[in-house]
Amino acid sequence: MTKAQRNAVAELLRVSPVADELGRRFGAAGHELHLVGGSVRDALLGRLGDDLDFCTDALPEQTLALVKGWADGIWETGRDFGTIGILKNGLRLEITTFRAEAYDGLTRNPVVRYGDNLLDDLRRRDFTINAMAVSLPGHDFTDPFGGLDDLAAGVIKTPDSPALSFGDDPLRMLRAARFAAKLRFTVDKPVAEAMTEMAADLDRITAERIRDEFTKLLCGLDPIAGLRLLVDTGLADRFIPEISGLKLEIDEHAQHKDVYEHTLIVVSNAVRLEGDAGPDFVLRMAALMHDVGKPATKAVGRDGRVSFHHHEVVGARLTRQRMKAMRFPKDVTSDVVDLVALHLRFYGYGRGEWTDSAVRRYVTDAGELLPRLHKLTRSDCTTRNRRKAAALSADYDALEERIARIEAEEDLARVRPDLDGNAIMELLGVPPGPVVGQAWRFLKELRLDRGPLDRDEAEAELWRWAREHGHIS
């Protein structure tokens, strides 16, 4: 017995009380039931979760009749596609009728056609490593397309020809890159060739579906492998062309670091700095997009030196546009954009020009993103010059220590003016309105510049501001 098979046995034993009982219910009614797809793959890898996928020859209404009264909960949101979901003993089970579906050739949407045998169902799946099944309760293993061997070899192949598979569902091309990132597998050469030739077919897929696959890819174990595959096959150009655009031409007269390779290193560094917290999409996306403003801002000076002035501003704008086009939630987009805009702020600290006021502004502008900004800034140091790298690291250590010192003295996380709106209205004798807001912002800027003021100082500064702006005589 191979290691993969031993893993599968151990994982199946863990879930077998539920899975086998369900299998017996289907068998008693004259139906087949198989654990299938990603669940079998993950069992063989020794990482089976609590979401299990099954296939059966029973139609959805027959499945419903078999699980009612047995399942702890039932949902029918996938019924039109032949899937019934149930909850049992903390496990989420999805049971899908055998399918031999085709696609309409224009969109991602399948035209559902029920099949009548396991082999056809497995043939229509995306990759061989997802085209294996285990019968229940008998635990007979079915692997008609060599998925077990491909799993052992760490290679991604399709059951049918890649062109036929991707023609049915172009999203599978992006999914191939996602599995390369998730499993650290390589993509079979014919699969990669088909991805390159058919990249334009990805335009048939909705932005939301692309977004979801790309998010999973970027949060994979090895996102760099997936990103390289997207760029090399031209898939990235279909939905996030800014990444391929980082491959700036480098000539012998105007040299600069390879921005594309630098970006991949920054993403890799950010993954490493996540620690045990798990994948942080916002941090990884900010690392990926932090330099996308460079192509538009590249300039060569008279001395031959290359500069990218204000690329963080341009990059933040491009990032917002791209994430909006991919239908990311506004809060996620805002966090990534803010990190891209702030990623250069630290450079210059080492020259000794930062006052405590500058540190307060750095912390206040970052807000809740400060821990991520720390990681992004450190990730962005990719110089091969050890002395320079050590100096940058020491400078950022010093900044973090300085932030900690000031935070110990002041509550930087909640910087507010020393007088609130009610006090401003009472002192100036003004009603709620624009003047109060202007005064509040003035006092906040003063608080950032000088730190906490006592009540008398704050009132004196408010009076001075009000006189200068004609709000009192």
Cα–Cα distance between 161 and 204 in angstroms, integer? 20
Does one domain contain both 407 and 442? no
Q: Does 220 fall in a domain?
A: no
Please tell me the total count of domains within the chain.
3
Band of pLDDT at residue 457, cut at 50, 70 and 90: confident
The stretch 1-20 carries a mean pLDDT of 74
| Structure token pair of residue 427 | 């002192």
pLDDT at 180: 95
Are residue 141 and residue 56 in the same domain, yes or no? yes
The answer, yes or no, to whether residue 248 has pLDDT greater than 80, is no
> Is 421 found in the same domain as 408?
no
Tell whether 325 and 422 lie within a shared domain: no
Tens of pLDDT, residues 144-196: 999 999 999 999 999 999 999 999 899 999 999 999 999 999 999 999 999 99
Contacts of 103 (CB under 8 A, 6+ apart): 109, 110, 111, 167, 168, 169
pLDDT digits (tens, 9 = 90+) for 339-373: 999 998 887 666 666 777 788 878 888 888 999 99
In a domain, 234, yes or no: no
pLDDT at 252: 42
Provide the 3-class DSSP secondary structure of residue 186: strand
pLDDT of residue 251: 43
**Average pLDDT, integer, range 7-19:** 76
Residue 473 lies in a domain: no
Residues 6+ apart with CB under 8 A from 251: none
pLDDT band (50, 70, 90) for residue 297: confident
- Does residue 265 sit within a domain? yes
In the listed set 124, 153, 182, which residue is the last one of a domain according to the structure? 153
Same domain, 7 and 133: yes
β-bridge mates for residue 300, sequence order: 306
Is residue 89 in some structural domain?
yes
Does residue 264 fall inside a structural domain? yes
- Cβ 70 vs Cβ 32: under 8 Å: no
Contact in structure between 289 and 315 (CB atoms under 8 Å):
yes
Domain end (from 153, 174, 202) = 153
Tell me if 177 is assigned to some domain. no
Question: In terms of domains, do 135 and 269 share one?
Answer: no
What is the percentage of the chain residues whose pLDDT exceeds 70? 89
Q: Is-contact 190 225, C-beta < 8 A? A: no
In a domain, 286, yes or no: yes
Per-residue pLDDT at 220: 94
Output the pTM of the full model. Answer: 0.81
The domain of 86 spans: 3-153
Q: Please tell me whether residues 357 and 381 are part of one structural domain.
A: yes
Q: Are residues 309 and 429 in the same domain?
A: no
Same domain, 374 and 319: yes
- Could you tell me the CATH number of the domain that includes residue 142? 3.30.460.10
88 with 25, same domain: the answer is yes
Residues 6+ apart with CB under 8 A from 12: 19, 35, 43, 48, 134, 139
| The pLDDT of residue 446 is above 90 | no
Residue 405 shares a structural domain with residue 434: no
pLDDT at residue number 256: 53
Q: Which of 153, 179, 209 is the last residue of a domain?
A: 153
Domain identity same for 324 and 346 = yes
